[in-house]
Structure 1
Amino acid sequence: MKKITNFIPLLLIIISYGCLEDSSEVIVDSHYTFEEAIKGTKAPEDLVKHLEMITLTYYSFDGKLHQGQMVTHKDLAVDIKEVFMIMQANKFPIRKVIPIVKYDWDDGSSLIDDNSSCFNYRQITGETNLSMHSLGLAIDLNPLENPYIKGGIVLPPQAVYSINSLGTFTEESIVVKEFKKRGWEWGGNWNSLKDYQHFQKNLSQMKLRSSGEESHTNHNVTLLP
């Protein structure tokens, strides 16, 4: 049974790529090289060497297949690829996936554009600790559909969380279940606030050297009037 279970992710990947081959068109949202995708980051070299850029395919809100890229920690690449394959198989929509270098490393601009991303070397707002995004250990997906909410603060500001909207995550969402199955934490389960777009995985048990821990106030953005 264990061998069969371990075979399932590989089978999903084969089926998914088979669907791509039959597709008449794949819209490319991002085509950076790794060097271009990390250009301008302030991350130290001993952190950058743990990163890699992965290519992901997904159905966007136009109902068409898109191809994007994400910079992530190498140890999370397989998890992310598997979950994206499952999302593609279920046609769960993702707006776009583009390295945050496109937004000059500004998290707020990426969120407003409904962009899904992972690595962004930055501190937690108002603190000196690094965000899990700085280590490539957290991803934000569909931020306009799945905002950060704490009291009267909503990020991105124009976002509305509605469980009936396409691309929205809930406790019963296949995306949430698949990430949790792989040991990830979902911000939608936090008590003091909700960060519905946010998924992270703690690799401390794998002896990853980390200089900070993720706080729930994890978006370093400027509130718009």
Structure 2
Amino acid sequence: METVGMLNHEQKKKMLEEQTLLHIIYLDFEGQQQWGEIMVHQNIAPEVEVIFKELLQQHFKIEKMKCIECYGGDDLLSMRDNNSSAFNYRLIEGTQRLSNHSFGLAIDINPVQNPYVKGCVVLPENGTFYKERLPVKKGMIVKNDLCYQAFVSRGWIWGGDFLGRKDYHHFEKYIVGINI
């Protein structure tokens, strides 16, 4: 069901109608409880609420959580600001295919501490310090840690397991009839 081609307003409108805005309590990097907002597909909203409750109970730190509209839909700007987000109607970089964020079926967490890495390219650029995954620092996601388990145990795929590139901040889920 992955659409090929240009982004269009009608398709975005339809996808927006399938999203649910969640109000999430999380621990910021100072250990203080904060309210964040994240927009996800309505079919996974209850599961996402449970995941973030688990992360809160386990004291996993998240710097901030705002909807992508606060950044004008600019993914790189959101990543540079270390914003954790989900729905964003956009193409996969360098392709004509819709990102799983367009379906509300992908979540990015602490992109500075968990950057996208492919060869010498690190995004966001201010995440370069975190390209090396050891020692583990606050807000980082590593294989088999509590954040990884909270998502993967429910059928999500972690971008840190991708071949040829690592997208350490990224989790995505596939649902027949929505994005496959």
Give the TM-score, by structure 1 length: 0.72
Structure 1 runs, 4 residues or longer, greater than 6 Å off = none
Contact 2:12 2:89 survives alignment (8 Å): no
Structure 1 residue 191 displacement after superposition:
1.7
CA distance in 2, matches of 1:147, 1:65: 24
Give aligned pairs, total.
Answer: 168
Q: CA deviation at 1:172?
A: 2.2
Query: Which among 45, 52, 55 is matched to residue 87 of structure 1?
Result: 55
Pairing 1:107–2:85 present = no
Q: If you compute each CA radius of gyration, which structure gives the higher value, 1 or 2?
A: 1
Instruction: Report the identity percentage.
Output: 35
Task: Output the CA distance in 1 between the equivalents of 2:68 and 2:12.
Answer: 17
Tell me, what secondary structure is at the counterpart of 1:171?
coil
Task: Look up the equivalent residue of 2:155 and give its one-letter code.
Answer: G
Give the deviation of 1:125 after TM superposition.
1.8
SS of the residue aligned with 1:44? helix
Could you list the per-position Cα deviations for residues 142-177 of structure 1 after superposition, in whole angstroms to 9, with x for gaps in the alignment? 000000000000000110224421111111211101
| Structure 1 residue aligned with 2:139 | 167
Match of residue 129 from structure 1: 97
Q: Does 1:156 align with 2:128?
A: no
After TM superposition, the structure 1 = structure 2 runs for residues 1-225 of structure 1, keeping only pairs within 5 Å, are: 42=9, 43-159=11-127, 160-161=129-130, 162-163=133-134, 164-204=136-176, 207-208=177-178, 210=179
Q: CA deviation digits over 1:25-60, x for unaligned, max 9?
A: xxxxxxxxxxxxxxxx94533222211100100100
Distance in structure 2 (CA, Å) of the matches to 1:175 and 1:67: 19
Deviations 1:190-217 (A, max 9, x none): 121110000000002xx22x4xx7xxxx
Q: Distance in 1 between matches of 2:100 and 2:12?
A: 15
> Once the two structures are superposed, what CA deviation does each residue of 1:88-145 show, in whole Å capped at 9, x if it has no partner?
1111100111001010110010000000000000111222111111111101000000
SS in 1 for 2:64: coil
* Aligned 8 A contact 2:23 2:38 in 1: yes
C-alpha distance in structure 2 between counterparts of 1:127 and 1:170, whole Å:
28
What's the counterpart of residue 4 of structure 1? none
Kindly indicate whether structure 1 or structure 2 has the higher relative contact order, using CA contacts under 8 Å at least 6 residues apart. 2
Please tell me whether the aligned partners of residues 55 and 147 of structure 2 are also in contact (alpha carbons under 8 angstroms): yes
Residues 26 and 62, structure 2, Cα contact 8 Å, conserved in 1: yes
CA distance in 2, matches of 1:46, 1:172: 36
Q: TM-score, normalised by structure 2?
A: 0.89
Unaligned runs of 5+ in 1: 1-40, 214-225
Q: What is the RMSD of the two structures over their aligned residues, measured on CA atoms? A: 1.5
